[in-house]
Structure 1
Amino acid sequence: MGLKGKSLLSLFLITWVVFSSVLFILNAHRYIGNNFFESDNFQVTKEDFKQQLGRFVLQPFDEEKAKASITVTQDEIDYHRNYYGTLSEQVANIRDQYSDRIFQAEESKDAQLKEILMAERDAKIADIKENFADDEHVEEKIRKQKEQIIEEFAKAEKLAAKDFLNNFGYFTYSLVNVNTGEKFESANITKSNTFSESYGNQKPYFNVNNQFYIGAGDGYYDSVALINQMEINYETVQFEGVISIPKSMLNATIFATEYRAFSVTKIILYIIWATGILAIAGLFTFAKPSFEQYKNTSRLKELFLRVPIDVRIVIIFISALFAYISVEQINNLISITGYYQNLAPHLLEILFDFVVLFMLVTVVVLGVFWIKDSFNQEQKFKQELKSAFLYKLADGIQDLFINRSIGIQSVVILIITFLSGVGFVGGMMDGDDLLAIYVVLLFFIGLPACIIFLRRMGYLNRIMKQTKEMAEGRLTTPIKVKGKSPFAKHAENLNHLREGVRKSLTEQAKSERLKTELITNVSHDLRTPLTSIITYTDLLKNSNITEEERNKYIDVLDKKSARLKTLIEDLFEVSKMASGNMELNKQRIDLTQLMQQAVGEHEEAFLNANLDLRITKPDVPLYANVDGQKWWRVLDNLVVNALKYSLEGTRVYVTLTQKGMDAEFTVKNITKYELGENVEELTERFKRADASRHTDGSGLGLAIAQSIVDMHNGRLQIDVDGDLFKVTLTVPID
């Protein structure tokens, strides 16, 4: 639904009020209570007339008085005397000037010319010598030069006085010297005047105080000037009387057209201001605007409210600015109309400008009403602010400066781009000099900045392309790192991320494989004793077995149950350690004694297994703050592990030493089974060196040891060199 009826009338009256108000602001000081003769233009003309009247008529330049006031100073005499150098330099210079000419006269055998040239030379030399010998001689020369300057100046003043009479012939004057009574009066004085201004008789006097500056600056002094300027000051003289412009002379003035234009324009403006007052009255009565009038213009309002709030405010501001410009344009057309006293040629242009003004004022009025409506609800107002263009721009700029280097470089590139455009336009408009400077700056600043920008954007595109490949899973090619820019740093970070993802995928694959092996090994290790238990239980149910067989079966059941119990307890313990539910009871323990106990329990077993056990330990106690029970479990697991998997007939080395602030426990043996390359997997649960799982181990020994060591902030390291198996355990000592 669009604007209709009363709404359009209200908008028209608002536009007219705005139009008349701006015209009032622009013109009131010139037209209200004033006439043309109070305008600035006429005041400038009047003051010019008064100044020239005083100079050429009331107190003209006095040539004789100026000559009588001539003075010559000693500085001027010295300046004149030494103007061309010292006495010897000037004499030598004169002789050089005449030597060639005299020589030519001799060559041509022209005795008369030679005599004349020599006489001129000697006369000038004599004059120079007299200059250096007699101050009065020099003073007389200077005085004559000054008199000549004054004579030239007086001639120029007489010519300027004639021009004054021609230029201001429409002015009349009747003035009397207050001191001497001398009267100055123009020839065409009348009583019927368009303009008149009186002086004296309780009004300010017409004051004349001429100052004449004569010298090289006025063009009256030659290149041998001894002075820059002569200044002649006259005393202030007061005059009373009147200056005026007769009505009969108005058409002869240079401002006759301006006078008529002022009167016509004043009438037009008075009419506009009067109708503006009527428009204000209408807005408070029959055409009073309200929000409800414009609320139902849904289509226009919907389009306007789609724009961000700050852009709407800018639109309103720009519309108001252009509305002001439109009023100024109409104001100029009114002045032109007054000047030519013909409205017809400019009527269509005035109407067009007023239609544009009406549209702009409509945008401002409706925009203000609709913005006010959007501010009524606090929640809606907050949403408006968050959707503002400047808010988003500030948010974007803030993100731009997350990396300060990129932010600064971006701003510098924008500034260079902007200045390049400004420089190009300025260079094209202001001539060759500025264009030359622009070309230099373009080649040494603009183009290098552009090249750097394009290279950086190309590098960024390459990074984005390879990032996409990484996102799709292609991790084979690292991003090339170029230079030390923020993009290069970003490429380096992406390479680190790529390597991390690659390792993560490798670890994930390894984890899946180990998980599968874990399920398989747990199933095997649990099923083996469980199968034996079930089998021998079924055999015990047979009533025909002998007592000896029954005892044998019960013994097997006891061993298999104990193994199953140990396996389940180890698995439960590893699970608790992995979940962090295991608590430590740390005490100050002698590791030397603890190692002796752990190894001593298995010395007979090593002997029976045909293994040569070699023990190395410190001679003094070695203390550490550990959980004694669990640390004994670690040592026991490592010793038992060596007992199970060492090749018969070989030596097993168990060593405890102090390395710095750590205690180091080492077990070395020759394995009876061939070990693979993935040695680090031996600490995984149910991972055994006996891949065929023919031994009685659970595969949890090293996993348990690893977990306990980690809980004590220690380190367990496995090294394999062929069949040599080495476990190194370190823990901080107390």
Structure 2
Amino acid sequence: MEKKKKRVFVLGLVALLSVISIGMILLCRNIQSENQGTQTVDVSAVSREMLLFMLDQTRVVNKDYSVLSLGEDVPYSIRSELEYVMEEELLTARADFINSPNFAYRITNTATGEKTEGGDTSLFVKDHQMYSTFTYDADGNVTSTGDYVSTDFTYMSAYQLLKNSISISTSNARETYEIYGKSIPKSQIQLRVPQNLKAEFAIPQNLTENNDIIWYNTENLVHGEMSGRFLAVTCCMMVFFIGLYILFYPVSVEQEVNLFAFMRKIKAEIKWAFLGTVLCLAYIGMAFLDVYTMTGELQTALQMLGIPYAELVPVVLQFIGMMLTGLFTAMGIFEIKYMLTSGFCRYWKEDSLIGSICGNVKRRFEKLSEVDLSDKTDTVLLKYVLIQMVIVGVIACFWSFGIVLSVLYSVLLFFYIRKKLKKVQKDYQVLLEEAHQLADGRFDEEITQDVGIFNALGDELKNVRIGFEKAVSEEIKSQNMKTELISNVSHDLKTPLTGIKNYAELLGQDNVSGQDKQVYLENLQHYIDRLNNLIEDLFEVSKVNSGNIELNPVELNVVALIQQAQAETEDLLKQKNLTVILDAPENGIVQALDGDKTYRIFENLFTNIAKYTLPGTRVYVSATAQPEYTEIVFKNISEAQMNFTPEEIVERFVRGDKSRHESGSGIGLAIVKSFTEVQNGTFSIEIDGDLFKAVVRFKVN
């Protein structure tokens, strides 16, 4: 279910980002088509260049005019540099405007009537977006009319025209220019204001695409108010819809998404620095991409570079850019949501570098101040004395200010010790409660928290609880076994006793014939033998369990003993047509064991097989000698369904079909287990479907 929710979340986020991206691209295209060809020039950006162009053209209509007036006090090297730089500025301005299809000009000498003009002069009366005139009288006073009025044409100075190209500085408080480290009076470097001059400038309504100064300082309407609104709407819509989607899903699903899960592993400072940088670059890049796409400049540049599908490439770039921007926005919003849901303090405490450093410092300090009551007290006291000695030594280094520090340290030490004492009291109460529970016999609750200086004692209480639980469990198990043993044995004892009683009564009757009496005596002897066997088995088990048993180990051949037990039970095995297949070394296996007890083990196993094996099947017996033990395995197919565990069949003294039988004590396997273990061996049972497997192992001494 969680994987399905995560998959739905990822698909929904991708679909949402795609819809937003496509919507923004369509809106961008719509704005581009509505404002196609509607352009305006930022005239203020080229005001200085227009002024230089006017001064350059003034020299055309007035041959005696020179732009700079340099005094005799100007050194020759600086004079030459100033004249060279000014000429370069004038020639650059001439190149920018003289052949521009987006600029019309007319410069007229009002005294002589001489003029120079260029561009479409009809713009002076119609179809222009800017037309301005600047008229200078005989004294150099200027009047300006039209769409653009600039103070650059009114307050002209050499500093204004030269500051971008030469190391020149000035101050209103000083009447000098600093040029290449030399002070020159302003009166020595003057700009000649044109006289008897009229300058007319015009810019057409619709510009012709050209790489000139006018075109470079052109804005589509979308560059201004429309572009700002578009980008604001784009960012707001993206953040709003993505934020709404992120907030809609539970954080438990979102944090399992691979990308978000990866970001969760990065420390907060690194993560926020990365997201902040990437988001700023993404939104700025998206803004530039949208603007240049809406103006058509990107398409034009791609066409000039010969890139195919120049109209489609910006659309693809916009889609990819918006998808990536939306993805990083989603990551940022998720981090904010995670921080708020998990807690601001917890977030910075656990997920930040500062939190990790502070946590490590705190843990080291707490480890330094830890006390283990099981350690030597001298070591503990020495550690604290050394800490205090270092702190007091540091305070003493501050001389008189150390008094203030000692007071502050004392206050802090008081609160620290009080906090530690409260922790000790709390830990003591936890241990005391645990002790009360143990005293009341409640073992289901244990200490799971850190109990500070009492940790060693807490661990011992846990061991006591585990020991009590184990002892109680063993006692209950033992009592249950005793109860079941008494119940089963009582049933076994009752059966032959009842038979003996019944046949004794029949023999006491007067009308019993000699033939019936003989039958009754045989049956009576059968029940007596069975009762005798049961009592002997009980004595054997009780001797082993009580440890009151004597062993007489001798070197005997285990394989020969198995064959002897098989031969003794051959009649029982033939009654069910069972075939025994023995797999053992030909020279046998010799080991020091008690002959009677070991024979009884094998006899009981063969007897058990004869009673409960499916007729007409094979019985497999194998004996192998391992370096550490001798292993004997008996395998047979059960006649009845074995709906019990291997432990039950030994511990509870039940038969394969869980029913009582007329013969046998019902504790044959218990005797096998007891006689095996008393000889330093092990006995185990394995059940696989109807396959019954008994494994006897004797450890090699």
**TM interval, short-chain normalised:** 0.3 to 0.5
TM-score when normalising by structure 2: 0.42
